[in-house]
């Protein structure tokens, strides 16, 4: 939490930040996935994670189920930290939120990010090829999520109390994702770095490279070992790789 702002968790840095990376977790996720990332970054690039209502230390708050509402509130929370160049990273649903957040911030006069990082996600203009899940009864929803994403660990599946905490924000995030409709906007000018898991068979190279349509800048695609949630399986490796692309994309001081 930053100065009483529940939307953001920021890492401590030893020097004033020259830039910030805002990280957005996957559906149902929390900032904990980015907890150790700062140690892989230069001291003057601060890692900040977004913390959405309905999970973690905001569990008692209602989840937000529409993209425009979530993005507007997140952007307002980020505004005090946009005094330096910023980059945005999102994983899976987080990448889609990150794209819309970057668009919203530009429309509010904050300019383009110096880098957009899309992890485990197809280009935002590509429609979801799968039928919706969010409206299903709980047991069918869980089965559908496991078949499609395999993202609920077995230790949680075997613990009813933990499962009861996870499912409501996860269903809310799926509703946000499955009700989203892409609107074409002018492209960004910043680089876009895409990361994918080489065992994530839901996505392919053409879907990753579709991100080129949202920018006039360069696109890079990097594959790492793992499935859809490689950001957890290969956390240190991904953090180090993202730190490198951030450092390379950051304009000179």
Active site residue 36: no
- The 10s digit of each residue's pLDDT in 113-151 is 999 999 999 999 999 988 888 889 888 988 888 888 776
What is the spatial distance between Cα 77 and Cα 132, in angstroms, rounded to a whole number? 30
pLDDT at residue 151 in the model? 66
Which of these CATH numbers, 3.40.50.800, 1.10.240.10, 1.50.10.10, 3.40.50.1820, describes 8-125+186-249? 3.40.50.1820
pLDDT at residue 108 in the model? 97
Which residue in this structure is represented by tokens 């996720």? 29
Q: Choosing from 92, 119, 189, 236, which is the catalytic residue? A: 92
Residues paired with 19 in a beta bridge:
45
The pTM of this model reads 0.94
Domain boundaries, the chain: 8-125+186-249
- The 10s digit of each residue's pLDDT in 201-225 is 889 999 999 999 999 999 999 999 9
């Amino acid at each position: 939490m930053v100065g009483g702002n529940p939307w953001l968790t920021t890492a401590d840095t030893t020097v004033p930040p020259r830039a910030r990376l805002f990280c957005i977790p996957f559906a149902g996720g929390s900032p904990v996935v980015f907890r150790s990332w700062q140690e892989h970054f230069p001291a003057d690039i601060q890692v900040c994670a977004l913390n959405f209502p309905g999970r973690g230390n905001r569990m008692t708050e209602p989840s937000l189920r529409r993209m425009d509402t979530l993005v507007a509130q997140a952007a307002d929370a980020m505004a005090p930290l946009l005094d330096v160049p910023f980059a945005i990273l999102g994983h899976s649903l987080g990448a889609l939120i990150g794209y819309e957040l970057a668009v919203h911030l530009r429309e509010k006069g904050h300019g383009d990010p110096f880098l957009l990082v899309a992890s485990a996600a197809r280009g935002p203009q590509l429609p979801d090829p799968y039928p919706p899940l969010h409206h299903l009864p709980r047991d069918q929803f869980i089965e559908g999520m496991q078949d499609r994403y395999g993202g609920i660990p077995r230790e949680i599946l075997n613990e009813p109390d933990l499962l009861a905490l996870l499912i409501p924000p996860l269903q809310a995030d799926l509703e946000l994702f499955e009700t989203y409709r892409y609107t074409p906007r002018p492209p960004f000018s910043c680089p876009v770095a895409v990361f994918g898991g080489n065992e994530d068979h839901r996505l392919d190279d053409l879907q990753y490279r579709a991100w080129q349509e949202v920018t006039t800048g360069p696109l890079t695609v990097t594959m790492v070992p793992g499935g859809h949630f490689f950001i957890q399986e290969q956390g240190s490796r991904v953090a180090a790789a993202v730190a490198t692309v951030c450092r390379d994309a950051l304009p000179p001081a």
